[in-house]
Amino acid sequence: MLGRLNHVAIATRDAVKAAKIYGAAFGAQISEAVPLPEHGVTTVFATLPNTKIEFIEPLGEASPIAKFLERNADGGIHHVCYEVVDIITSRDTLVKEGARVLGDGVPKIGAHGKPVLFLHPKDFSGALVEIEQA
């Protein structure tokens, strides 16, 4: 069973500004900016009743979203993150079904302190997919 949509991540050069209109125009609850140097991003999130929107801006040299922002000057929807019960089981099923896992296939600790993997956009209609062990 596919788990919850944990978040939609939107890459931008200014996460605080990006989140602000969600607060002003929608009354959404907006978090403080949280720098995550080990992930190369600063995060601000907008809380919705059923999920969250994460605004990510580059932090430091070699941010993983720097290239995306070169190609998409205005920013854009960067990835979607689904929760899974067991990331190893999910990874193995995904690979069996023909999906490619990015990197070395070993789950890393993600922005929420939980194991995550990223899947190849070409296998998901151009959408970068993150899976997170809930």
CA dist 49 to 14, 28, 46, 79, Å? Answer: 24, 9, 10, 20
Does residue 48 bind its own copies (CB under 8 A)?
A: yes
Question: Among 15, 59, 65, 81, which residue interacts with Co ion (rule: CB under 5 A)?
Answer: 81
25 or 62: CB nearest its own copies: 25
CA dist 19 to 15, 77, 81, 120, Å? Answer: 6, 13, 19, 27
Residues 52-91: x where in contact with its own copies by CB under 8 A, - otherwise, as a string:
-x-x----------------x-xxxx--x-x-x-----x-
CB within 8 A of 91, min separation 6: which ones? 101, 105, 107, 117, 131
* Segment 3 to 42, residues that bind its own copies, using CB under 8 A: 3-5, 8, 10-12, 18, 21-22, 24-28
Please check whether residue 84 is in contact with residue 27, taking contact to mean a CB–CB distance below 8 angstroms: no
Q: Does the annotation count 130 as an active-site position?
A: yes
With H, G, I as helix, E, B as strand and everything else as coil, classify residue 79. strand
Q: Which residues are catalytic?
A: 130
By CB under 8 A, name the binding residues for its own copies. 1-5, 8, 10-12, 18, 21-22, 24-28, 46, 48-51, 53, 55, 72, 74-77, 80, 82, 84, 90, 93-94, 96-99, 121-127
